[in-house]
Amino acid sequence: MAEHNEISTTQWLDKILAKGAYGFSKEILQKELPDFSDIAIKRALSRLSSKGEIISLYKGYYLIIPPQYASKGILPPPLYLDAFMKHLKRPYYVSLLNAAAFHGASHQQPQEYFVMTGFPVLRPTQKNGLKINYVSIKEIPEVLIEKRKTEAGYLNVSNAALTAGDLIQYEKRIGGMNRAATVLNELAEAIKPTDFSSSLLTHVQVTALQRLGYLLESVCLNQKLADALFEAMRKEQLSFFRIPLKPSKDTKGYSSENRWKVIVNTEIEIDE
């Protein structure tokens, strides 16, 4: 009987994969196989897990591991993230270094995956060497998010300008301002002057926008984008305050003689 259970479960998983899906919940499995008892389902899942055919990602949610990913024992997040977040009923978008890679700035390949979502805070998921960090924010700015096609459907990704704002606002998450500036230098090619919209300026903190403007102008040497951002901020009547380029460092004796009112208390070096 146990073998029959496993065969039925495997056939069901094959059907799911054939539809282009890579994840499922125990709840769905029980609905699809009503003749199975709860214990039979648990045993079948346990056996499939021990064979490496599935992996438990999160409370009752499993990923199917096809043969081509068997050696890694985990899937690339773009294959399952959208379905997983729908399962959790959470808005989200792929952000920071991972979003930058979607926009062609893949100079820095991250070991971690970054996803913005709402509250309550979602703990990181860490499986077989892959870590997904969830950053909780008050509001997901739908108008600044793009849908990107993947093998398994679509993925919500921050547009290039929001990605830039997030890189500066959450620079500590990705290894500091030097790394943020290095990625920004590549990412700038994907940003258009018109991307500095009212929605973006409302969503991203003013301090992050000031630092972004300074970096675009003085480090990336992209005068066109710097001017467009400055003009957009002026139109929105945003107030500039003297702020340090590196928040955690002392500001005494450093100049803020630039239009962004950024105290240049650290030297930014871009990796070529």
Global pTM reads 0.93
Mean pLDDT of the chain: 94
Lowest mean pLDDT among 96-100, 177-181, 248-252, 265-269: 248-252
| pLDDT at residue 10, as a whole number | 87
Higher-pLDDT residue of 248, 186: 186
Listed in sequence order, the residues at least 6 apart from 56 whose beta carbon sits closer than 8 Å to its beta carbon are 49, 62
Q: What angle do CA 22, 28, 29 make, to 5 degrees?
A: 80
Q: Is the pLDDT of residue 146 over 60?
A: yes
Q: Hey, what are 222's tokens?
A: 């992209």
In order of their start, the domains of the chain are 2-69 (1.10.10.10), 77-263 (3.30.460)
Q: Is the pLDDT of residue 5 over 90?
A: no
Q: Is the pLDDT of residue 1 over 60?
A: no
| pLDDT at residue 128, as a whole number | 92
pLDDT tens digit string along 87-118? 999 999 999 999 999 999 986 667 789 999 99
CB 231 within 8 A of CB 251: no
CB 148 within 8 A of CB 104: no
Q: Is the pLDDT of residue 2 over 80?
A: no
Distances (CA, A) of 235 to 29, 129, 144, 203, 259: 54, 46, 19, 15, 15
- Average pLDDT over every residue of 139-166: 96
Q: Count CB atoms within 10 A of the CB of residue 213.
A: 26
